[in-house]
Amino acid sequence: MNQYFAGLGEKPFRSQQLLQWIYQRKVMDYEEMTDLSKALRLRLKESTCLTLPRIVNQQVSSDGTCKWLMQLQDGNSIEAVFIPEDDRGTLCVSSQVGCSLNCTFCATARQGFSRHLTVDEIIGQLWVANHALEEMGVRTARPDVPSDHRRPVTNVVMMGMGEPLANFDNVVAAMNLMMDDFTFGLSRRRVTLSTAGMVPAIDRLAEACPVSLAVSLHAPNDALRDQLVPLNKKYPIESLLGACQRFIGESQRQRITFEYVMLQEVNDTPSLARELAALLADMPAKVNLIPFNPFEGIQYQRSSKSRIDRFRDILLSKNIFTVTRKTRGDDIDAACGQLAGDFTDRTRRSERMRRDSVKVAVV
């Protein structure tokens, strides 16, 4: 922004003014930015545009979770989800239209892939969500923030549609923008990126934007993870954990969150729990056990509560910090793994899956 305004012959502080107008005052009309000269406002209007994703559908769950279907300029649509809690409000943000990976238990993956989101489309989800929630009267309690400065969204997780690290440059630019003092001012500990395990990009992330890291693990060995997360064939568990260790660095103060979706009689046995505990024994780790959220056309089933509890207790007995994630928004298909959006699948993956399911049914 500084370089852009310098190119216009303006002082660098103009970038700060513009960011504050857009992100803090939520003004999207140059004519209302009264501390910019009329000449500058005219030049901005002629040479740039201010656009946002458009909400085409909003659903509110019985537990307060809110999901939006947001339409982009090209007609594709993505989904973002807000999860309210007593002391924070978390927004789940998408990074791709669809997903370029093919995890077998994920609704987004079954829809295929269209393209990467641009920086403005990523940050725009946060702008639109905050605005929509404020219109609904939502305020998130934060004891460290004066009540008149509280925004609904206090935390962002890059866990929506897509693999964030496959869209590295745009995602990093958007996260840095979220943390800028002249925009939303989020701290690094309040921004989390979730990845299926793109090892080289994890190493780049540690240098470019060391936010909190979550890894979609879902299995303690390569044989099983190859089936659930096909990316594992390229970056197996040993190399993935090596990248996690490098991300933490020598201080070892930051925990890596390992997400583990619980699939009945697939990855939820006591022996696999013990194997996972041994795998993470030397890692500052938090394990998030995620009850599987079913969707149409999938063969997996959610592990029973007793199997999830037994899996958790084994990990805890081995001193692995473990929690079971509370399922939120599943009545509006807003829970983990259920986001689907509305877009053109350039990979034709969804078409192939439908065709294969028909073949199985016929057999």
Q: Which pairing describes strands 89-92 and 77-84: parallel, antiparallel, or unpaired?
A: antiparallel
Sign of CA dihedral 32, 57, 345, 340: positive
**Which of the 8 DSSP states describes residue 20?**
I
Kindly list the distances between the CA atom of residue 312 and the CA atoms of 158, 241, 304, in Å, as whole numbers in the listed order.
Answer: 25, 21, 12
Q: If we measure between CA atoms, which residue out of 93, 126, 117, 118 comes closest to residue 23?
A: 126
Please tell me the total number of residues recorded for the chain in this structure.
363
Cβ neighbour number for residue 187 with a 10 Å cutoff = 11
Beta-carbon contacts of residue 284 (< 8 Å; ≥ 6 apart): 248, 252, 253, 254, 255, 256
What is the SS3 string spanning 290-325? EECCCCCCCCCCECCHHHHHHHHHHHHHCCCEEEEC
Query: Which residues participate in catalysis according to the annotation?
Result: 79, 336
Cβ neighbour number for residue 64 with a 10 Å cutoff = 14
Kindly list the distances between the CA atom of residue 313 and the CA atoms of 40, 212, 265, 271, in Å, as whole numbers in the listed order.
Answer: 62, 25, 17, 13
